[in-house]
C-alpha cells in the first residue's frame, strides 16, 4: 500500500466534513456526520455486487419497453399499471381493482422472503439488492469515473476551487441529474405506455402531472443516491432497526475475526506474525466501506453487509501471505468454531428458516391457485330500498334490482338470466324483456360492466315471509356454466 493511502487511512478511513472543502455542493447531508470517501476494490463480492447492480438496473430501465399483444383495445405493454383504466397488467395476467388482494399476497411473500434471506444471509438485501444500494453504487461509479478514486476525491475536495475542479463537479452533477431523470421517467413508464410517454415527454405534449411526477422521482433519486447515500441506511431506513430479530448464530454476517486479528499493528510483508494478530492496521477495510464503518469494532447498525471489506482484507492477506478470511462473511457459530480449531458448517435448515420458507410457499401456493382458478366474471346485485316492494293491482309483489355483470374477458359475452327459489316468480329487464318472462338474454361487451335494471314479480301466495331467499341464475350461453347469485325478495309477509 502506498504511503499516502496509509496516512490518509490512519485517520480512520474517512475525512471529517469540516476538513473537506465543499465542492459543487458536496458534503455530508446530516449534521455531525462524516463525509465518506469509499475506495474502489476488486474481489468476489464486488463482482457479485456489480452483477446484481447491472442486472437490476437493466431490468428496471428495460422492463417498461417489453411489449405484449393482448388484442385490440388493450394496452400492448407487458408490465403496466393503467390508472385511468383501473387495471394492472403483468404479461398475460390482468388484475382488476377488485383483485387488489393479489398485491397484498405479493407483499406478504416479499416480506417473508426478506425475513428468510436475512435469517440465511444477514443483510444481503441491504448490501446487494436494495434500491438505495443499487442507485448509490451507480452514482458512486459515475463519481469515481469523473473525479477519480478515493484519494483523488479527497484531494479535489480539499483543494482550491479551480476550473478543473468546477468542471469535474459540474460534469458529475449533470451526469447524476441525467440518470435521475431517466430513473424518474422509467418509473412513469410503468404507469403509462413507454413509447407514447417518451414521445410526449420530448415533444412537450405530456401532461403537467407527468412532468411533475417525473421531476419528483428524479429529484428523489438525485438527493437519496447522490447526496444522502449512507445517511438513508443509517438514519432513515427502519429495516436495520428490527432485522436483527431474524438473525441467529447461524446467519451469515460480515464480521472481523478478532481472535485472529488482534493484537493488530503495522507490519512489513516479510514480518513474522508469531505472537501477534494478523490485522496489519492498513484500514483498507474502512476505506472501501460505503458507509464508513470500521468492522473491527464489531457489528454495527451502519454496516449494510455489502462484504466489500471482506474483499479488501482478503487482498491484504494475500499480500502478506496470510490466510484469507480475517474479515469473513460467515456465521458467528463458525467463527467461534474456527477460533477453537473445530469444524465449521453451514446450517440453512433451521426452525426459523423452515417456518419462513413454509409461510412463503403456502402464500405462493394460495396465490397461484386463486390465480389459475379465478373467475373472469363477477356479479353484483343492489336491491331497491325505497320502496322495498310494490303491491301490484293483480295482487302480486314486485321488487326492483340493479344487476351488474363484470365481464373481465376481452370477448363479448351473452348470458341468460333466470330466477330460482320463489314459485311463480317472473322477471322483466328494462329494454330487454317485458314483465312475465321467465328468462332474459343479457349481452355484455368485452372488458366492461354490464348494468341492467331488473324487476322481479312474485305471486302473493309464494311469499309467506317478509323476506324470502332467492337466486339469480346467470348462464354463460357459450360455455353453459351457471353462476348463481343469492339475494333477497321482500314482501308484506302473511
Collapse the DSSP code of 417 into the 3-class scheme (helix H, G, I; strand E, B; otherwise coil) and give the result. Answer: strand
DSSP per-residue string spanning 363-390 = HHHHHHHHHHH--SEEEEEEE--SSS-E
C-beta closer to ligand SF4: residue 290 or 421: 290
CB of 326 to ligand SF4, least distance (A): 5
CA 464 vs. chain centroid, Å, equals 57
**Cβ–Cβ under 8 Å, residues 110 and 130:** no
Give Cβ neighbours of residue 319 (< 8 Å, ≥ 6 apart): 269
C-beta closer to ligand SF4: residue 51 or 164: 51
CB of 113 to ligand SF4, least distance (A): 21
CB of 410 to ligand SF4, least distance (A): 49
| CA proximity to 213, closest of 176, 187, 182, 179 | 187
Neighbours of 260 (CB within 10 A): 17
C-beta closer to ligand SF4: residue 30 or 382: 30
Calpha distance 254→244 (Å, rounded): 13
C-beta closer to ligand SF4: residue 300 or 380: 300
C-beta closer to ligand SF4: residue 147 or 294: 294
C-beta closer to ligand SF4: residue 317 or 470: 317
CB of 71 to ligand SF4, least distance (A): 49
CB of 111 to ligand SF4, least distance (A): 23
C-beta closer to ligand SF4: residue 317 or 458: 317
CB of 45 to ligand SF4, least distance (A): 8
C-beta closer to ligand SF4: residue 52 or 367: 52
Give Cβ neighbours of residue 374 (< 8 Å, ≥ 6 apart): 99
**DSSP 8-state secondary structure symbol assigned to residue 227:** I
Calpha distance 390→400 (Å, rounded): 9
Provide the binding-site residues for ligand SF4, judged by CB under 6 A: 254, 256, 261, 279-285, 288-291, 293, 295-296, 303-309, 312-313, 316, 326-327
Residues 266-300: b if buried by 16+ CB within 10 A, e if exposed: ebeeeeeeeeebbbbbbbbbbbbbbbbbbbbeebe
| CA proximity to 413, closest of 458, 481, 476, 360 | 476
C-beta closer to ligand SF4: residue 230 or 447: 230
| CA proximity to 57, closest of 135, 157, 5, 114 | 135
Q: Which phi and psi (to 5°) does residue 446 adopt?
A: -65, 140
Locate 376 and state its grid cell. 373472469
**Cβ–Cβ under 8 Å, residues 427 and 419:** yes
C-beta closer to ligand SF4: residue 308 or 428: 308
CB of 312 to ligand SF4, least distance (A): 5
CB of 262 to ligand SF4, least distance (A): 10
Calpha distance 10→372 (Å, rounded): 61
DSSP per-residue string spanning 17-84 = GGGSPP-TT-S-SSTT--B--PPP--SHHHHHHHHHHHHHHHHHHHGGG-B----TTS--BSEEEETT
Locate 193 and state its grid cell. 405506455
CB of 337 to ligand SF4, least distance (A): 20
CB of 175 to ligand SF4, least distance (A): 25
Q: Which phi and psi (to 5°) does residue 186 adopt?
A: -65, -35
CB of 229 to ligand SF4, least distance (A): 12
C-beta closer to ligand SF4: residue 291 or 426: 291
Amino acid at each position: 500500500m502506498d504511503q499516502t493511502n496509509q496516512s490518509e487511512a490512519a485517520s480512520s478511513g474517512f475525512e471529517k466534513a469540516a476538513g473537506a472543502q465543499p465542492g459543487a455542493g458536496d458534503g455530508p447531508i446530516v449534521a455531525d456526520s462524516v463525509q465518506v470517501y469509499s475506495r474502489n476494490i476488486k474481489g468476489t463480492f464486488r463482482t457479485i455486487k456489480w452483477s446484481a447492480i447491472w442486472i437490476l438496473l437493466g431490468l428496471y430501465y428495460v422492463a417498461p419497453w417489453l411489449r405484449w399483444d393482448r388484442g385490440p383495445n388493450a394496452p400492448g405493454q407487458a408490465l403496466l399499471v393503467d390508472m385511468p383504466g383501473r387495471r394492472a397488467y403483468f404479461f398475460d395476467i390482468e388484475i382488476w381493482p377488485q383483485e387488489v388482494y393479489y398485491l397484498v399476497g405479493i407483499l406478504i411473500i416479499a416480506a417473508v422472503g426478506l425475513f428468510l434471506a436475512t435469517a440465511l444471509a444477514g443483510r444481503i438485501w441491504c448490501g446487494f439488492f436494495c434500491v438505495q444500494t443499487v442507485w448509490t453504487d451507480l452514482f458512486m461509479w459515475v463519481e469515481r469515473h469523473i473525479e477519480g478514486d478515493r484519494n483523488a476525491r479527497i484531494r479535489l475536495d480539499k483543494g482550491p476551487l479551480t476550473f478543473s475542479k468546477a468542471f469535474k463537479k459540474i460534469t458529475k452533477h449533470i451526469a447524476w441529474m441525467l440518470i435521475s431523470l431517466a430513473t424518474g421517467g422509467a418509473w412513469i413508464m410503468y404507469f403509462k405506455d413507454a413509447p407514447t410517454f417518451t414521445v410526449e415527454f420530448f415533444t412537450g405534449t405530456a401532461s403537467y402531472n407527468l412532468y411533475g411526477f417525473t421531476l419528483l422521482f428524479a429529484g428523489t433519486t438525485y438527493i437519496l443516491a447522490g447526496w444522502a447515500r449512507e445517511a438513508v441506511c443509517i438514519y432513515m431506513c427502519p429495516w436495520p432497526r428490527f432485522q436483527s430479530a431474524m438473525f441467529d448464530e447461524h446467519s451469515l454476517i460480515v464480521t472481523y475475526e478478532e481472535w485472529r486479528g488482534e493484537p493488530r499493528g503495522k507490519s512489513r510483508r516479510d514480518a513474522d506474525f508469531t505472537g501477534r494478530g494478523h490485522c496489519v492496521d492498513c484500514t483498507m477495510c474502512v476505506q472501501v466501506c460505503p458507509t464508513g464503518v470500521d468492522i473491527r469494532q464489531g457489528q454495527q447498525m451502519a454496516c449494510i453487509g455489502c462484504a466489500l471489506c471482506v474483499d479488501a482484507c482478503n487482498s491484504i492477506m494475500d499480500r502478506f501471505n496470510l490466510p484469507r478470511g480475517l474479515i469473513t462473511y460467515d456465521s458467528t457459530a463458525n467463527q467461534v468454531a474456527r477460533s477453537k480449531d473445530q469444524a465449521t458448517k453451514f446450517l440453512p435448515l433451521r426452525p426459523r428458516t423452515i417456518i419462513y420458507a413454509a409461510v412463503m410457499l403456502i402464500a405462493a401456493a394460495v396465490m397461484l391457485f386463486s390465480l389459475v382458478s379465478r373467475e373472469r366474471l363477477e356479479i353484483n346485485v343492489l336491491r331497491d330500498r325505497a320502496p322495498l316492494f310494490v303491491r301490484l293491482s293483480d295482487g302480486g309483489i314486485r321488487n326492483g334490482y340493479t344487476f351488474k355483470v363484470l365481464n373481465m374477458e376481452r370477448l363479448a359475452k351473452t348470458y341468460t338470466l333466470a330466477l330460482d327459489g320463489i314459485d311463480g316468480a317472473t322477471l322483466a329487464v328494462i329494454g330487454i324483456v317485458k314483465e312475465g318472462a321467465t328468462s332474459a338474454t343479457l349481452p355484455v361487451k368485452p372488458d366492461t360492466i354490464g348494468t341492467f335494471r331488473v324487476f322481479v314479480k312474485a305471486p302473493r301466495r309464494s311469499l309467506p315471509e317478509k323476506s324470502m331467499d332467492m337466486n339469480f341464475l346467470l348462464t354463460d350461453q357459450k360455455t353453459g356454466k351457471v353462476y348463481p347469485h343469492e339475494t333477497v325478495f321482500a314482501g308484506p309477509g302473511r
